[in-house]
Structure 1
Amino acid sequence: MKKQIIVALALSVSAFSFAQKKELKAAEKAIKNNNYAEAKTSLNQVTPMLSSIDDKYKSKYYFLQAEALYANGAGSTEDVNKALENLDLVDDSMKTEVAEFKNKMQNTYLVKANDNFKAKKYSIASQQFEQLYNIMPSDTTYLYYAAVSAVSDQDYDTALRQYIKLDELGYTGIETQYYATNVATGEEEVMAESQRDLFVKAKSHNNPGMRKTESKQAEITKNIALIYVSQGKTDEALAAAKKAREQDPDNLDLILTEANLYLELEETDKFKALMEEAVKQQPDNPNLHYNIGVISLKNQDFEAARSAFEKALEIKPDYADAALNESTTYIDEGNSLIDEMNNLGTSKADNARYDELRAKKTSLFNKGADVLVQYIAKNPNPEPNIYQQLINIYNATGESSKAKEVQAKLDAAK
């Protein structure tokens, strides 16, 4: 009796294994015929029996599940993610098959991602580049291109997540490039080392060389900072900017990024210090001098502001905003005397002080007018606001005839 039970059990297990094999073969056949729905149906028959299935068949099951879910590239993002999860469960007995399948997935997604990026379908491209990274986690460049695509799509939340991941991974993007000059065109071409050596040997190329590309770490942390800025997260942005500058302290873009963050925080002294650091790197950049002038004017440091605006105009004589603001330094300084003038009494000493301040105010206003007159002499067709500020100054100093002359020029320019 006992022997009969054992034989019956063995027959049951044998029939059980045969059913599993049959469904796996059916799934494999369906996949070869691109019938992925049928393959999934067959595999679903095996799923309830998975705990009792032999290990070698388990790997086969997981591999076929991955193929069915991937559906030769037609699977949804969710399905492809599940396919990758199934591939992770395949043991080393199918290591070669898994590697070949992942290469197939990689090639398919790479073509799609590049095509969508070229077609400016940045959202789809970002998803596909990130999927490429999921397929080949060792190639973090795919995640970098996913972030670049997300930025192009103005999907800053996605880009931030991807950039932070790259930062955590310590991604640098540094590559070794092999190059040579095409003799026929005279242009430098980058290619694989073996191909370059063959071309040089064939004398179609010369001047071979090798170089390392620049690190993308500073760019990544800078973009993290800029995205935080756009989200109003100034503290996080500042922390990212400082980290970026530690990686590349002489990077002008990073200096300006940090400077602008301090400006938003109204820490004008730090802003000005960073702008002066930037000027040392690019002394002939009129915008840097202009920015120093603006912040100095805001701090009522009129002499420093004038010096900066004058330098900007020296570099760029048609810099209208620099001329307007240099003129404004005199107007603001003149207006700063008004409170004292209004608070004076009627004594002889106070009257004398009043006259002194009024003369100083008029002198400052006249200097403000002179800046604009000199600008117009060098730029005969100035912007309307140059004329308008000059009219306002003349009206304030009581020179109505000069104001009318300038008004006529303004009217004629319209």
Structure 2
Amino acid sequence: MKFVKRSVAVLLTVAAANGAYAQSVSKADAALVAGDLNEAKTQIEGAIDKEIAKLQKKGKPVTIKGKTLLVKGNVYSAIALSDSSIFADMQEAAIDSALSAYNTIKSQEKETSAVYKDAWVTYAAGENSTYIQGKNSKVQDLYQGFMNKGGTAYNEEDFNSAMEDFLTASNIISTDTTAIFNAMICAQQLDEPDTEKIRELSKTMIERGATNIDAHRLLIHYTMSEAQEFETQLSELDVQKRQTTQEQLRPLEETLADYKDKAEANKAYMKKSKAAKDRYNKFSKLATETEAKIAPVKEEIAGIEAKEATAKEEANKIYAETLGYVENALEVHPTDANLQQTKIVLYMKMDKIDEAIAENKKSLEADPSNPELYFNIGLLYSNKMDVAKKAENAEEAAELEQKTIESYNKVLELNPNHYGALVNIGDFYYQKANGFNREVENLVDYTGKVKNSKDKAKVDALKADLIDNATKAKDYFTQAQSNQPAGDSNNFELLINRADRMIKNNQ
């Protein structure tokens, strides 16, 4: 009898314990429905403590029941989404607690169980006969809750808060890309766009397998924009170098050549004429003084070029990184014209001439009436021509010269007012005229008379070429001046006057 009584007492105790446990979970659920989140939290934590204590007392592994975990996840999801100041400091911890509960369900419950389906399975409308209107999983509800909060903040133009909410949503579902994209839009909408955040989020989207081309484009755009600082430096340095060369170095070099020619012309008569000797000494002294003036100008230009090299090196690092992103994007979107054009631009910026020419020609096959592609090719051939000239490869330089002119002429055929083509082809002819002018100056004395009668035919031919090229340069510079954009620093008046002077001096 005593044995029976003792057994009944034990059974009653167990029943009471189970009742207390069930009551705590039920109370937590009821408090959650009623919106009393503090009470819901107290009840669910109490239920979990009792369940753990019971399992430990029996020496069993601690495995919280699925229903308990589901209610815990739901309670902490509600706390995470609450706007109450009471829970303001708990959001991150609440999300962790909710996801921990849902993830434990995922790892220990069968996929066919009701608890698992409630936590993790989302049905679209009509997909399941039990849920005709469809249903979200609890994880999806938590995700959607932060998406909604982010949307509300965005509509109120609180872009920082919206970005935080979208990022929180993206962390709830680790494969999500929509919330990340929304966060990127918020980062763009800030008074000062957070470019580093945009780049970081673009990378995350791509790493998560996003095929949306916008993620690639944003990453490419904002990575390349990092080079803007160095591009601005290079542009300013280029203007400074050209102005120093055109306004200081070239006039001094022309003056020096003139003084040397005049000194040389009088040198032969020094022994016979005191006046010739005086003129020789005078022009030699002036030449020496001019050389002294040239030296610091050349030093200034060398300093500019050193700064250019440093800025170019830093810019190239960014271009190389950007090129990698472009190539990754082209693997997903191989026919995208904008990506192909960006690749060409990057090759050009990095001075990868042959690669850029090949990409331009490939693009021309798809877009044969695009003047910008012909302009790119003309610019690239011109760069190659300069390299060939420095290497004293006359045959290759002549071939590239012809290709350069053909490319720029094609640009002007498609767009007669193309400013870049007008400037570049004008400069091309100006430099050729200048070269012929130097050759002529070496063959004539300061009065313009041919030093050696045997060179007269050569001088006449050089002058004809000089006048032809200077005239073309003058015409193109005049057209360019008519199309010069506001803020452009090219001094066409100076260039036109110099071309005109070369023509008049050699007619």
Query: TM-score scaled to structure 2, two decimals?
Result: 0.55
Match of 1:372 in 2: 477
Q: CA deviation at 1:394?
A: 1.7
Alignment partner of 1:229 is 2:214: no
Match of 2:498 among 395, 404, 410: 395
Alpha-carbon distance in 2 for matches of 1:56, 1:253: 52
Alpha-carbon distance in 2 for matches of 1:400, 1:387: 21
1:37 touches 1:68 (CA, 8 Å); kept in 2? no
Q: CA deviation at 1:313?
A: 2.9
Alpha-carbon distance in 1 for matches of 2:36, 2:477: 78
Q: CA deviation at 1:330?
A: 1.4
Comparing 258-267 with 79-88, greater Cα deviation is found at 79-88
Q: CA deviation at 1:358?
A: 6.1
1:6-155 map, 5 Å: 20-46=21-47, 48-49=49-50, 51-52=52-53, 55-56=65-66, 58-72=68-82, 76=91, 79-90=94-105, 91=109, 92-98=113-119, 99-118=136-155, 121-135=158-172, 140-150=177-187, 154-155=193-194
2:443 touches 2:452 (CA, 8 Å); kept in 1? no
Alpha-carbon distance in 2 for matches of 1:69, 1:384: 58
Alignment partner of 1:348 is 2:452: yes
The alignment-based identity, stated in percent, is 19
Q: CA, structure 1 residues 315+273, in 2 after alignment: closer, same or farther (shift >3 Å)? A: same
Q: Deviations over 1:192-224 (max 9, x none)?
A: xxxxxxxxxxxxxxxxxxxxxxxx3x5544444
Match of 2:432 among 333, 358, 363: 333
Query: TM-score scaled to structure 1, two decimals?
Result: 0.65
Aligned residues: 355
Flag the structure with higher helix content.
2
Alignment partner of 1:290 is 2:375: yes
Give me the CA root mean square deviation.
Answer: 4.5
Match of 2:405 in 1: 306
Q: Deviations over 1:12-71 (max 9, x none)?
A: 766665554454444334323323234334444455556346525532453344334334
Comparing 150-159 with 255-264, greater Cα deviation is found at 150-159
Letter of the 2:347 partner, please give it: Y
Q: Secondary structure at the match of 1:89?
A: helix
**Structure 2, unpaired ranges of 5+:** 55-63, 120-135, 227-316, 387-399, 446-450
Match of 1:271 in 2: 356
**Structure 1, unpaired ranges of 5+:** 173-215, 402-414
Q: CA deviation at 1:148?
A: 4.8
Q: CA, structure 1 residues 351+82, in 2 after alignment: closer, same or farther (shift >3 Å)? A: farther
Q: CA, structure 1 residues 133+382, in 2 after alignment: closer, same or farther (shift >3 Å)? A: closer
Alpha-carbon distance in 1 for matches of 2:486, 2:177: 50
Match of 2:341 in 1: 256
Alignment partner of 1:167 is 2:206: yes
1:196-215 map, 5 Å: none
Flag the structure with higher strand content.
1
Comparing 154-163 with 253-262, greater Cα deviation is found at 154-163
Q: CA deviation at 1:171?
A: 3.5
Q: CA deviation at 1:241?
A: 1.8
